[in-house]
Structure 1
Amino acid sequence: MKLLIADDNPVWRKLMQAAVAPWGYRVVFAENGREALEALQSDDPPRLALLDWLMPEIEGVEVCRRIKQNPEAPFTYIILLTSRDREEDMIEGLDAGADDYLTKPIVAALLKSRLASARRIVEAVPPAQWTKPQVNGFEVHHLIGKGAFATVWRATHVATGRLAAIKIIRADLATDLVFERFAREVQVMRKMDHPGIAAIYASHLDREFAYYAMELIEGESLGHYVASQKPKATKIIEMMAQVCDALQHAHSQNIIHRDVKPSNVMVGRDGQPKLVDFGLSKSMFRAYSAPSSNETSEGAVLGTPLFMSPEQARGEAERVDHRSDIYAVATMLYLFLLREHPHGVNSMGREETIQTIATTDAKRASSINEKFNPQLDDILAKCLSTDPDARYQTAGEFAKALRDFLHDRAATRSGIGHS
């Protein structure tokens, strides 16, 4: 079986080459992320891959994400290699679709056993796609996405005729952490009933067969929508108000999202945003005692760094509440309107981004663009306060402030600072 070893460090490449040489793999090498991606997208791609997390040109975790998000690509078992050994890094790697995760330095015996296990899994998975499942109450049409432990299928709900996306987890392969997160996401989604949140139609959870069927959103992520459609600033602001409406509903169900970002907001063909992926969510009234095996340790830094609130970046779990979601929405709006991050971390690495957000104040929008509308500047500054008590205290208040601004602007026709 062909094995890709991708690492920009020649010493590590030689060490791994020497280790795997007796094990019967056909080894190909990549010195950077671009070469790794090209190898995995070739006509005869490796079915096993060892990807270093940090590589020039494209990070290994991003290579993994691109391969796993391509529904046309054959199943490739990807093991991320990194010196990062924290739980949140492991979760980020798994979220990118990684099938396994090894920290350096790597013990040869452990690598051998992991590759042997990976090979058994790859040999059990058809190269083109997984077998079409039978889901009670749904007519399953075709595969629209797959990752390490799950596939997503386009289907029709027979009773209503509604299109659905069915996410099926391979419970036999999923780790306890992955299965428990999947179960928590289902539990949270079933509480939601709002037009701005993707609806869940049905679910089933056990170790033999686990899935949930949700509303199929035919569109693109908010980030792609803004980049491709280039909507006016007023449209973006109204969409952010709609995201706040959805968050207000989630918060009213005592659920904090904790990972609000452009890729977790889908825009349908009608141009309406819908909030998705409550996989990192938690109860607003969770008691912070000693964490159990299926909970995130107190103090862990979870979520996407660019959209973290300062309290998230500092790992202050007891202070992360619904106002952290408000901070994330304000960060998105700031980035869309100014093309700059409020903490100036656009091109920083993960660790530096977290440290900067944790220790610096957000910049006023007017410091980036002196013509930026003062009313909107004040709204953003309030949301981006380091102190959660100084922010809007509900997502509904933030939505109202944005809509009041749009109303006032329509009356005065003053500029926003970005067309």
Structure 2
Amino acid sequence: MLLKEQQVGQLALARGLISLGDLMFCVAQSAAAGLPLQEVLIAKKKLSSEVLATLEHDLDAGISVEEELQFGNTIVVDQVEAARHDPTVVPTREVILADDITLLLDGEARYDFKEELGRGGMGLVVRAHDKVLRRDVALKSLLDKANSDKFKNRLLLEAQVTGILEHPNVTPVYDLRADDEGRPFYTMRVVRERDLGTIIKGMKAKEESLSLSFLVQVLRQVSLTIEYAHRQGVVHRDLKPDNILVGAYGEVYVIDWGIAKLMHAGHGFEDTEQIVVGSLIGTPKYMAPEQARGENDKVDERTDVYSLGAILYEILTLEALFTADHMLGLLFMIVHDTPEPPRMKAPERGIPEALEEICLKALAKDPANRYQSAQELADELELFLEGVKDREKRREAALETLSLAEQTRAVYDDVRVQHRQILTELETKRKTVPSWSTGHDKQELWNLEQQADDLAIEMERRFADTVRIYSDVLAFLPEMPEARLGLANLYWQRFEAAESAGKYAEAAYLEGLVRQFNDGELDPLLEGSGTLTFDTSAGEATVELYRYHKENRRLVEWLHATLHAPFERAVLEHGSYVALVKKAGFRSVRVPIAMGRVDRIKVDVRLFAEDHFPQDFVQIPAGYFSRGNDEIMVEEFAIMKTPVTVGQYLEFLNDIEPEAAEKHTPRIEEGESYFPRDEHGRYHLPAQDAEGDAWDPRWPILIVNYFDALAFAKWRGQMDGFEYRLPTAMEWEKAARGVDGRIYPWGDHFDATFCNMKDSSNQRPVPKPVGTTTTDVSPYGVLDLAGNIVEWTSTPESSGSDRMTLKGAAYNSASIICRLDVDLASLPQYRYAHYGFRLALTL
């Protein structure tokens, strides 16, 4: 046969225009009669002259048969059908961009589209953010060229088949809908894991090192998943390494059920596929002989068993079962050739004889000689993994590997400690290096930042190594308690970090991994209950205990219980609470409580008489509060509920000596006072200032410096009989945050309407009367913290610095300044339009 004739036959086979059996028959007839293959194909009515002309034209145009065949890609029956009616169709050649799709829900865009995740012969998968469910999903829809009823039915079937397979190793379908043009689409979980094909390629290139036992365990999980599908009447029909995903934590998923075959009706829908006997359906490299022959009516559960065997062969040898230069040769080998035994194919791999026997049985040409179910194959793999045949050897290997895992864990723990220390050192250093410093002055800071980055990478590598080696232990002895506890503890550390950082989706995922490996030791932590013991300095008192819940992007208080102090060891679920303590004749006090898992918290709160401190002050009990990775101790004090107002400051100016008042009146540098004087020399508010604003006496005082604030504190102290002062930066921050580490007074999510900042209104930013933005309130009841006015504190920017720390944000601040952990600094003599203050009092 001439090369051109061979290429025409291969291209026709690849495009689904002829079955393998028909092509082989025509090749034999061509050789026997000495006629060109094209003439035999036309004479036997297998291909028309028009189709052959198209194939020859495409070959002359430079189409590479080898490239087009892509033996590792799926051939779908829809492509076969399309090719039979349109000889110019080339499967999976045209693509579209994710930006070309807009899906609507009730007239409004439900999904924000992100990057493309993958594409195939008929569909495109993109990452999308579901604005209703508030999570990222993988959204699969049709390509423009596949917008036909046949492809729509195929996508619907794919979604429905995946949907009925409710199994941990099958990616769940979230939603199935149609867009405004009637094209179906469905959403599913975003899968971030790597496919087994990539892992095997990495191992072959010596870029990866995974134990054989680990990979066998992966295939066992796949086999159990396929058995579950078979019991639901679904044959996958396209099993291959690329369709098996393996996660960093050992998770396994079987994906791409797009050409699955339904073995019986019983799910409320029918398979829309019109099977053409003789057409190819599947991926050639992993096809069973009956698939390669196009005997689609004979495809059943044992077809998937063969594909599992082909995958096992590749795991064992790191080579494909069969390789050929062209499709025809590959299919012929699948149908007729006996596989080379794995131990002969790759003697350097040290393949166990038991696994070779399992592999070759799964690869039997006759389905009757294979394992009759995926469960049988899984059971054989389990026997290998469990060690029925070589249990003692496995235990020895497991113990040796466990020792290595514990050594690796110790290294990981050391790196974690180093990383935490560097972060602490880095945080301290950043406070001492001004942003305008030169590169020379920042060199030490940059070095620390680089060390932190390097240690973070090293920590992740050590974590992955530790997980992998513990998993290797479980591959030898799946129930080994030391390894299971080791993994559970590793994941618990990550879970705690994610939960503390507010990464609740990641925390939920890691909690699942903890539960997977926990055998009871971590039950108290997972249950997450602690105890609260409570007493007061005044004896009996009523304690209204409120728990914080998320509602409309804020933490809001719901009454949890009414208790009577003193009480001991009240059981509370982990979470954030605030206790409102009441007793007749005493000031009520709010006590925030961050109940950690298995915490044992004791509170002994001091109650003060009604007149012990002014009514416009709020008591802040002594104790620690969370600031990043640090726990900061703050002694008991009181702080003004709202900033000092314009009206209060005006009273101060008019009560002190005129020379002093002139010194402390609000003004910018050496400019005129914002407060004009009347004929009696008394200050009053401007009807309209230079910016055209009429000052409201209820506004927070602004355009004052540090010395102005100290003078006001001294004056009011003389008036009230208290030693007022400015709060320290940490006192201010505790009063604003409470003790649960929240970023804003109301929680961890920012919205401009929750405080008074530059984006809170579509009008020009101006101050608001203090206390009127009721959402800008801390657990202690302190107001106007994330907006309205920036406030002076008594804390220097750093040791030896002549600049003072300011806290909070103002009416003209950007959102980043509204975070409570932000520190600002200024020279004490500076006055700006957003500088104000509030007073504190030591109790």
Q: TM-score surpassing 0.5?
A: yes
364, 367, 371: which one aligns with 1:392: 371
Verify: 1:180 aligned to 2:153, yes or no.
Answer: yes
Instruction: Tell me the equivalent position of 1:16.
Output: none
Q: Note the C-alpha offset of 1:192.
A: 0.8
Q: Is the Cα–Cα contact under 8 Å of residues 309 and 357 in structure 1 kept in the other structure?
A: yes
Aligned length: 320
Task: Summarize the alignment of residues 57-206 of structure 1 with structure 2, pairs less than 5 Å apart.
Answer: 59-60=67-68, 90-91=79-80, 102=88, 129-135=99-105, 138-144=110-116, 145=118, 150-157=123-130, 161-169=134-142, 174-205=147-178
Verify: 1:251 aligned to 2:230, yes or no.
Answer: yes
Instruction: Tell me the equivalent position of 1:220.
Output: 194
Verify: 1:263 aligned to 2:263, yes or no.
Answer: no
Q: Note the C-alpha offset of 1:147.
A: 6.1
Instruction: Tell me the equivalent position of 1:110.
Output: none
Return closer, same or farther for 1:212/1:148 CA change in 2, 3 Å cut-off.
Answer: same
CA deviation string 1:344-385 (max 9, x = no partner): x22432221111111223333233245532211211121111
Q: Note the C-alpha offset of 1:130.
A: 1.6
Q: Is the Cα–Cα contact under 8 Å of residues 51 and 60 in structure 1 kept in the other structure?
A: no
Instruction: Tell me the equivalent position of 2:301.
Output: 322
Instruction: Tell me the equivalent position of 2:341.
Output: 364
Q: Secondary structure at the match of 1:189?
A: helix
Q: Note the C-alpha offset of 1:219.
A: 2.2
Q: Note the C-alpha offset of 1:235.
A: 1.0
Return closer, same or farther for 1:341/1:183 CA change in 2, 3 Å cut-off.
Answer: same
Amino acid at match of 1:329: L
Counterparts of 1:245 and 1:295 in 2: how far apart (Å)? 29
Amino acid at match of 1:321: D
Rg comparison, structure with higher value: 2
CA deviation string 1:144-183 (max 9, x = no partner): 1456764423234456554310112257852333222212
Amino acid at match of 1:102: T
Amino acid at match of 2:67: E
309, 329, 345: which one aligns with 1:352: 329
Task: Give the TM-score normalised by structure 2.
Answer: 0.34
Return closer, same or farther for 1:132/1:183 CA change in 2, 3 Å cut-off.
Answer: closer
Q: Is the Cα–Cα contact under 8 Å of residues 77 and 281 in structure 2 kept in the other structure?
A: yes
Instruction: Tell me the equivalent position of 2:255.
Output: 276
Counterparts of 2:132 and 2:78 in 1: how far apart (Å)? 42
Counterparts of 2:296 and 2:120 in 1: how far apart (Å)? 29
CA deviation string 1:96-145 (max 9, x = no partner): xxxx86179xxxxxxxxxxxxx9xx99xx8x8832543457954341314
Q: Secondary structure at the match of 2:176?
A: strand
Return closer, same or farther for 1:374/1:211 CA change in 2, 3 Å cut-off.
Answer: same
Counterparts of 1:385 and 1:128 in 2: how far apart (Å)? 43
Q: Secondary structure at the match of 1:303?
A: coil
Q: Note the C-alpha offset of 1:89.
A: 9.4
Q: Secondary structure at the match of 1:190?
A: helix
Structure 1 unaligned segments of length 5 or more: list them.
1-7, 9-49, 66-85, 95-99, 105-117, 287-291
Amino acid at match of 2:360: A
Q: Secondary structure at the match of 1:296?
A: coil
Q: Is the Cα–Cα contact under 8 Å of residues 375 and 405 in structure 1 kept in the other structure?
A: yes
Return closer, same or farther for 1:280/1:159 CA change in 2, 3 Å cut-off.
Answer: same
**Percent identity among equivalent residues?**
26
Q: Which one has more relative contact order, counting CA pairs under 8 Å at least 6 apart?
A: 1
Q: Note the C-alpha offset of 1:397.
A: 1.7
Return closer, same or farther for 1:93/1:261 CA change in 2, 3 Å cut-off.
Answer: farther
385, 388, 392: which one aligns with 1:411: 392
Q: Is the Cα–Cα contact under 8 Å of residues 138 and 155 in structure 1 kept in the other structure?
A: no
Q: Secondary structure at the match of 1:165?
A: strand
Q: Is the Cα–Cα contact under 8 Å of residues 170 and 209 in structure 1 kept in the other structure?
A: no
Amino acid at match of 1:142: K
Q: Is the Cα–Cα contact under 8 Å of residues 114 and 129 in structure 2 kept in the other structure?
A: no
CA deviation string 1:266-307 (max 9, x = no partner): 223433221111111111237xxxxx9841212322111110
Counterparts of 2:126 and 2:342 in 1: how far apart (Å)? 42
- C-alpha RMSD of matched pairs (Å): 4.1
Amino acid at match of 1:352: G
Counterparts of 2:186 and 2:253 in 1: how far apart (Å)? 17
Instruction: Tell me the equivalent position of 1:236.
Output: 215
Counterparts of 1:167 and 1:361 in 2: how far apart (Å)? 39
Task: Give the TM-score normalised by structure 1.
Answer: 0.65
More moved, 350-359 vs 223-232: 223-232
Counterparts of 2:76 and 2:126 in 1: how far apart (Å)? 30
Counterparts of 1:57 and 1:314 in 2: how far apart (Å)? 20
